[in-house]
Amino acid sequence: MEFFRIQRDIPFMRFALTFNVISLVTFVLAVIFLAFRGLNLGVDFRGGTLIEVTYGHAVDFNRVRTAIDTLSIGEYAAQSFGRSDTALIRLPLKPGVSSAQLSERVMGALRADDPSARQDRVEFVGPQVGKELYENGALALLLVSLGIVGYLAMRFEWRFAVAAIIANLHDVIIILGFFALFQWEFSLPVLAAVLAVLGYSVNESVVIADRIRENFRKMRKATVTHVIDDAITKTISRTIITHGLTLMMVLSILFFGGETLHYFALALTIGICFGIYSSVLVMAPLVMWMGVSREDLVKPEKKREGLEGEKILP
Partner 1 sequence: MNRYPIWKYVIIAVALLTGIVFTIPNFFPEVPAVQVSSSKATVKVDSALLGTVEDTLKSASIPYRGAVLDATGIKLRFDDPDTQLKAKDALQTKLGDNYIVALNLVSASPRWLAAIGALPMYLGLDLRGGVHFLLQVDMKAALDKAADRYTTDIRSLLREKKVQYAGVGREATNVVVRFRDESERNKARAEIEKSFPDLAVREMEAPGEFRLVYSLKPEAQKKIQDGAVQQNITILRNRVNELGVAEPIVQQQGADRVVVQLPGVQDTARAKDILGRTATLEIRMVNDEPGAVEAAIAGQPPLGSDLFTERSGGPVLVRRQVVLTGDRINDAQPGFDQRSNEPAVHVSLDGTGARIFKEVTRENVGKRMAIVLVEKGKAEVITAPVIREEIGGGRVQISGRMNTREANDIALLMRAGALAAPMEIVEERTVGPSLGKENIDKGFNSVFYGFIVLVVFMCAYYLLMGLISAIALSVNLMLLVALLSMLQATLTLPGIAAIALTLGMAIDSNVLINERIREELRWGATPHAALTAGYERAFGTILDSNVTTLIAGIALLIFGTGPVRGFAVVHCLGIMTSMFSAVFVSRGIVNLIYGGRKHLTGISIGQVWKPAPGASVPAK
Give the type of residue at 198.
L
Residue 142 burial (CB count, 10 A): 10
Residues 18-37 as x/- pattern, contact with partner 1 by CB under 8 A: --------------------
Q: Which is nearer to partner 1, 24 or 199 (CB)?
A: 199
Name residues whose C-beta falls within 8 Å of residue 5's C-beta, 6 or more positions apart in sequence: none
Q: H-type helices in the chain, by residue range?
A: 16-36, 43-46, 61-69, 99-113, 127-155, 158-182, 188-218, 224-256, 262-277, 283-289, 294-297, 309-312
Q: Which is nearer to partner 1, 58 or 138 (CB)?
A: 138
**If binding means CB under 8 A, how many residues of this protein chain bind partner 1?**
87
Q: Give φ, ψ of 58 to 5 degrees.
A: -60, 145
Least separation in angstroms between residue 13's CB and partner 1 is 15
∠ CA 266-190-54, rounded to 5°: 80
Name residues whose C-beta falls within 8 Å of residue 19's C-beta, 6 or more positions apart in sequence: 12, 277, 281, 282, 285
Query: Which member of 21, 112, 249, 313 binds partner 1 (CB under 8 A)?
Result: 249
Residues 86-125 as x/- pattern, contact with partner 1 by CB under 8 A: ------------x-xx-xx-------------xxxxxxxx
Least separation in angstroms between residue 308's CB and partner 1 is 6
Name residues whose C-beta falls within 8 Å of residue 281's C-beta, 6 or more positions apart in sequence: 12, 16, 19, 23
- Which residues in the 137-156 window bind partner 1 by CB under 8 A? 137, 139-140, 143-144, 147-148, 151-152, 155
Q: Which is nearer to partner 1, 33 or 102 (CB)?
A: 102
Applying CB under 8 A, the span of 58-66, 88-96, 243-251, 282-290 interacting with partner 1 comes to 243-251
Least separation in angstroms between residue 278's CB and partner 1 is 15
The SS3 of residue 255 is helix
- Which residues in the 266-305 window bind partner 1 by CB under 8 A? 268
Applying CB under 8 A, the span of 31-39, 129-137, 176-184, 282-290 interacting with partner 1 comes to 129-137
**Residues paired with 40 in a beta bridge:** 185
Q: Which is nearer to partner 1, 73 or 261 (CB)?
A: 261
62 binds partner 1 per the rule CB under 8 A: no
Q: Which is nearer to partner 1, 32 or 58 (CB)?
A: 58
Q: Which is nearer to partner 1, 29 or 309 (CB)?
A: 309
- Which residues in the 176-235 window bind partner 1 by CB under 8 A? 188-189, 191-192, 195-196, 198-200, 202-203, 206-207, 210-211, 214, 218-222, 230, 234-235
33, 180 Cβ separation under 8 angstroms: yes
Distances (CA, A) of 314 to 32, 301, 309: 52, 15, 10
